[in-house]
Structure 1
Amino acid sequence: MLYYLFNYLDSLDVPGAGVFQYISFRAGMAAFLSLLITITFGKNLIHALRKKQVGEDIRDLGLEGQMQKKGTPTMGGIIIIAAILIPTLLFAKLDNVYVALLIITTCWLGLIGFLDDYIKVFRKNKEGLAGRFKIVGQVGIGLIVGFTLYFNDNVVVREVSASTRSSVQVQDADESLESPAGYQDVKSTTTTVPFVKNNEMDYSKIIPFLPAEYTWIIYVLVVILIITAVSNAANITDGIDGLAAGTSGIIGLTLAILAYLSGRIDFASYLNIMYIPNLAELVIFCTAFVGACLGFLWYNAYPAQVFMGDTGSLTLGGIIAVLALAVRKELLIPVLCGIFFVEILSVMLQVSYFKYTKKKYGEGRRIFLMSPLHHHYQKKNIHEAKIVARFWIAGILLAILALATLKLR
């Protein structure tokens, strides 16, 4: 909203109004405002949740310090969502297809998570929202995202001829260059394959005998799978103080860098990566996302004063999935979201192995002391604050590796 106001003021030659044309300025302001919202109003939210007796019902898993968390306010994801949406609405171009899609994703998954927490807290049903309804909701947003990214005319890749590429120079302004001769915007189903020299894969060529007009089926199914998997993985990761928020912040910052580079024709040309017009506007959303995660840590770091609940964790995971799809780095998710990946993998391995050994030997056996993986380390008497710090370090290393794939081919 402020972008349009200052754009109008700039047309009237009001001094200083032109600064809103710079993505870097608006991204910085979005991060600052997001942090301010979470830190300033987080305390008020915690007080309101305590007043409403919105406390976490803790199961006794035999973990040290676990039962002391009983009654800690949950549904803190509300402040994360607000801290993402408000700066985005103020500083981003709302007619940008990528920004609009992320706003819809945030609201959609936030509502699913809120319903799950509401049933747990107010209806006293520990199971929360039935799994089938969660899946229906995730499939629903997957369909919206998949169809939009595939069919929307504004979702294109700008192809650059070799002669034009060599003449592109890095610019001082943040806005993308205009499209001179030698550039062509095309609808494309290509995505980035990490660690490969010619690192682009076209979904239309996955199944050679499938007619090109049916490629959307493959693409939409992949989108649904990714959104469902990453949102559930983030939900599982949210098990100890600060783990999900900190890890998501690291991933969000990495995606902001990737979006900025892919959304600038000069940097995309220099790095020899796909240039995606209008994508750089997503940096404003990404920085608001990072600010919300870091601001939430003010109250969620050990010992947590509030939990994000499914309201926050499902939303964070879904946002990360859609951001990766928009930047066309979805195949990088196992690296970039490596913490999420090993967490959900540990659960899958534990459950599968337990069922297999129970059927074969008559009693179930376990690979880990407890799953998800962070509980395994808790069972080994490692303090949860140290576990979280080490997972963050691993997340930073994975983020550096993800960025290195820009040149590591």
Structure 2
Amino acid sequence: MLFFFLQPFARDVQLFNLLNYITFRAAGALVTALLIAFVVGPAIVRRLRAMAVHQVVREGTPDTHAGKGTTPTMGGLIILAATVVPVALWGRFDTRGGEYLLVATLVMLWMGGIGFLDDYLKMRQKRLGLKNEGLVERYKLAGQITAGVVLGLYLWLSPLSTLPGASTTLPFFKYMLIVPASAALAWLYVPFVTFILTGASNSVNLTDGLDGLATGLTAIAAATFALFAYVMGRIDTSAYLQIFYLRGAGELTIFCAAIFGACVGFLWWNTFPAQVFMGDTGSLGLGGALGAVAILLKSEFLLLIIGGVFVAETVSVILQRSMFKYRRRRYGLEYAQKHRVFKRAPLHHHFEVDGWPETQVVVRFWILGIFCAILALATLKLR
């Protein structure tokens, strides 16, 4: 928007020429996101407290989390506002890059909307004295799958780049493009995209169990994807690094920078001891955003590296549940309860029960997230 209004005056005011540079607009989006989080944060937190929108403590969490039941949730509204507004201000929507921005933003809002409905229903059910189940799980999953199917069909039938719509790339390989064996199997790309998008949103949701954990990890992942979007959107840099050039994809740098700024700004309120939680509004929205960026950059497998901690958290839950069900069926309930894979799941609760303070778990997981980011960046040269 700013580019559209100010660029015509660039001949008279040289300063406006900076709007031609993605790096400048990304920095502008980051700072704007931070300021919005700082400005609207207090008002939203006060409103949530007044409405008694409290966090629902998940079943199976450590006893130390009992006091978190009075902390307001739905703080993801801060993140959504601090992401969408900077993207609208600093993004260019008059080029192919605008399609990248629009798709990523719509996915984030759709997933965030599902999370908002879930949080709202939990609040309403609590007021009515009902069990706080929120949005029925199958309806939540149906909404996520719908987003994945629509995104997969759109990218398959209307590719945003010169690469085939039904394709993806592999890290550590030069110009390695994975496409279906035949055109008749191209439809498999749709369930693939659906799986990635649904998995990414749920992974961040599962990780959001400690103060600042998911927020910090998402900020690290968003910063990493911002670098990938920038180099993939430049024909010279992509050629030098021997990766596919995606015309217009550089605009996703704006989107990722805005997410980074929004998450860092939200940490002001979400760091231990948290004054507000993001809730499903934030976790599903952020997970959907990361999944959408990975899909748009044809880097779905790279998401496994960048989001390595998210993957570990999800795998811990899958292992815990599947092994418990198997042992209960095979050996009985008492045996299954005594012989668990982890002391608690997701993984961060395992270390809490093992004696790690909450802040120690969070910071160490952030360090692992940084390590995953460095490993992902290494794929740019190790090819």
TM bin (shorter chain): over 0.9
Asked if the contact 2:31/2:261 (under 8 Å) is kept, the reply is yes
Of residues 332, 345, 351, the one that matches 1:362 is 332
Of residues 272, 276, 300, the one that matches 2:270 is 300
Structure 2 Cα separation of the partners of residues 220 and 62 of structure 1:
35
Deviations 1:108-141 (A, max 9, x none): 1111000000011122242110111111111111
Residue in structure 1 matched with residue 158 of structure 2 by the alignment:
152
Matches within 5 A, 1:223-302: 223-302=193-272
Residue in structure 1 matched with residue 350 of structure 2 by the alignment:
376
Of residues 115, 118, 128, the one that matches 2:117 is 115
Q: 225-234 or 186-195, which moves further after superposition?
A: 186-195
Residue 34 of structure 1 and its aligned partner are, at CA, apart by 0.1
Asked if the contact 2:167/2:189 (under 8 Å) is kept, the reply is no
Residue in structure 2 matched with residue 170 of structure 1 by the alignment:
none
Residue in structure 2 matched with residue 401 of structure 1 by the alignment:
375
Indicate the SS of the match to 1:227. Answer: helix
Matches within 5 A, 1:136-147: 136-147=142-153
Residue in structure 2 matched with residue 192 of structure 1 by the alignment:
169
Deviation >6 Å, runs of 4+: none
Structure 2 Cα separation of the partners of residues 202 and 151 of structure 1:
17
Residue 60 of structure 1 and its aligned partner are, at CA, apart by 6.9
Structure 2 Cα separation of the partners of residues 199 and 369 of structure 1:
43
Residue in structure 1 matched with residue 301 of structure 2 by the alignment:
331
Asked if the contact 1:58/1:69 (under 8 Å) is kept, the reply is yes
Structure 1 Cα separation of the partners of residues 185 and 58 of structure 2:
47
Distance 1:101 1:188, change over 3 A: closer
Structure 2 Cα separation of the partners of residues 16 and 195 of structure 1:
40
- Kindly provide the amino acid, as one letter, of the partner of residue 298 in structure 1: W
Residue in structure 2 matched with residue 182 of structure 1 by the alignment:
none
Residue 293 of structure 1 and its aligned partner are, at CA, apart by 0.7
Residue in structure 1 matched with residue 6 of structure 2 by the alignment:
6
Residue 62 of structure 1 and its aligned partner are, at CA, apart by 6.7
Structure 2 Cα separation of the partners of residues 90 and 303 of structure 1:
33
Residue 402 of structure 1 and its aligned partner are, at CA, apart by 0.5
Structure 2 Cα separation of the partners of residues 340 and 233 of structure 1:
5
Task: Report sequence identity in percent.
Answer: 43
Indicate the SS of the match to 1:70. Answer: helix
Residue in structure 1 matched with residue 43 of structure 2 by the alignment:
44
Residue 69 of structure 1 and its aligned partner are, at CA, apart by 1.4
Asked if the contact 1:60/1:66 (under 8 Å) is kept, the reply is no
Point out the structure with the larger helix share. Answer: 2
Residue 199 of structure 1 and its aligned partner are, at CA, apart by 5.0
Query: How many residues align structurally?
Result: 372
Residue in structure 2 matched with residue 201 of structure 1 by the alignment:
177
Indicate the SS of the match to 1:369. Answer: coil
- Kindly provide the amino acid, as one letter, of the partner of residue 203 in structure 1: V
Structure 2 Cα separation of the partners of residues 16 and 335 of structure 1:
39
Unaligned runs of 5+ in 2: none
- Kindly provide the amino acid, as one letter, of the partner of residue 64 in structure 2: G
Residue in structure 2 matched with residue 31 of structure 1 by the alignment:
30
- Kindly provide the amino acid, as one letter, of the partner of residue 143 in structure 2: G
Matches within 5 A, 1:160-175: none
- Kindly provide the amino acid, as one letter, of the partner of residue 94 in structure 1: F
Unaligned runs of 5+ in 1: 158-185, 206-210
Residue 189 of structure 1 and its aligned partner are, at CA, apart by 3.8
Residue 187 of structure 1 and its aligned partner are, at CA, apart by 4.0
- Kindly provide the amino acid, as one letter, of the partner of residue 195 in structure 1: F
Residue in structure 1 matched with residue 310 of structure 2 by the alignment:
340
Structure 1 Cα separation of the partners of residues 348 and 226 of structure 2:
27
Residue in structure 2 matched with residue 106 of structure 1 by the alignment:
108
Residue in structure 2 matched with residue 389 of structure 1 by the alignment:
363
Q: 250-259 or 100-109, which moves further after superposition?
A: 100-109
Structure 1 Cα separation of the partners of residues 243 and 277 of structure 2:
39
Asked if the contact 1:64/1:378 (under 8 Å) is kept, the reply is no
Structure 2 Cα separation of the partners of residues 214 and 245 of structure 1:
38
Deviations 1:284-337 (A, max 9, x none): 111001000111111101100000000000011110001011111101222111
Q: 142-151 or 132-141, which moves further after superposition?
A: 142-151
Structure 2 Cα separation of the partners of residues 62 and 149 of structure 1:
39
Residue 97 of structure 1 and its aligned partner are, at CA, apart by 1.0
Structure 2 Cα separation of the partners of residues 319 and 38 of structure 1:
18
Residue 204 of structure 1 and its aligned partner are, at CA, apart by 2.2
Residue 33 of structure 1 and its aligned partner are, at CA, apart by 0.5
Q: TM-score with structure 2 length normalisation?
A: 0.93
Structure 1 Cα separation of the partners of residues 351 and 207 of structure 2:
13
Indicate the SS of the match to 1:225. Answer: helix
Distance 1:116 1:188, change over 3 A: closer
Asked if the contact 1:60/1:67 (under 8 Å) is kept, the reply is no
